[in-house]
Amino acid sequence: MSQAKKSSTIKSVSLQAILWFAMATAMVACGAEYTPKPKGYNRIDLPKAAYQPLQEQHPFTFEYSKYAKIRPDSSSIARPHWINIIYPSLGANVQITYMPINNNPKAFLNLTEDARRLTSKHQIKAYSIEETEIKTPNGDVASVFELTGEVPSQFQFYVTDTTTHFFRGALYFKTATQNDSLAPVIEYVKKDIIHLLNTLKFKDK
């Protein structure tokens, strides 16, 4: 066989080998089990905490985040001095309600029971509800509820002097994102709420 023919034969065999190898690789790849990649979440850049005093006229005052806005509660059941602390960039809302007690022990008991009932509504989806009772720097008693699980409200609280004022709040997010991915934002807003509680003052004191 001439040298030219040998060269042509070698090239032909090499090309066939490459094609067969490519086909075999493709068949193995098609038969391999597909493993989905975990879903990624967008990075959330949180600003350094900074606070400002509440300027609106209410029976109470406190400091809240400079990155939040105060809006009146516009719901059909809203009462005077019910407000929302809205975080536009985070999709978070702290709903604040206020009720006078007027030295009425029965009213105080009803308000406390209502606050606990509203929190317990989330028991179906909550993995746990942890309650902590603390005394604020101004001498009032605050009950704080931390909820874990895929619940719409992850943090709730109420503060009262038991005779005159009943102040309640609940954190909500306007998003369907799972709470695991919201964890840094939840912790961020929770710290703001603790600051709110530590600076809360009822004006008749």
C-beta of residue 166 within 8 angstroms of C-beta of residue 203 = no
Identify which of 96, 83, 97, 108 has the alpha carbon closest to the alpha carbon of residue 164: 108
Sequence-ordered alpha helix ranges (H) in 82-178: 105-120
Name beta bridge partners: 183: none
Cα(129)–Cα(149) distance, rounded to whole angstroms?
A: 9
Chain-centre distance of CA 62, in angstroms? Answer: 22
Single-letter amino acid, residue 100 = P
C-beta of residue 59 within 8 angstroms of C-beta of residue 165 = yes
Cα(183)–Cα(153) distance, rounded to whole angstroms?
A: 13
What is residue 148's predicted lDDT score, i.e. its pLDDT? 82
119 is written with which tokens? 């929190």
What is residue 147's predicted lDDT score, i.e. its pLDDT? 84
51-202 folds as: Protein Transport Mog1p; Chain A (3.40.1000)
For the chain, 205 residues long, give each residue's pLDDT as a single digit of tens.
554 444 444 344 454 544 455 455 444 444 434 343 444 445 567 999 999 999 999 999 999 999 999 999 999 999 999 999 999 999 999 999 999 999 999 999 999 999 999 887 766 666 678 889 989 999 998 999 988 877 778 899 999 999 999 999 999 987 654 667 788 999 999 999 999 999 999 998 6
Q: What residues does each domain of the chain span?
A: 1-35, 51-202
Cα(120)–Cα(117) distance, rounded to whole angstroms?
A: 5
Q: What is this structure's pTM?
A: 0.75
How many CB atoms lie under 10 A from the CB of residue 118?
Answer: 16
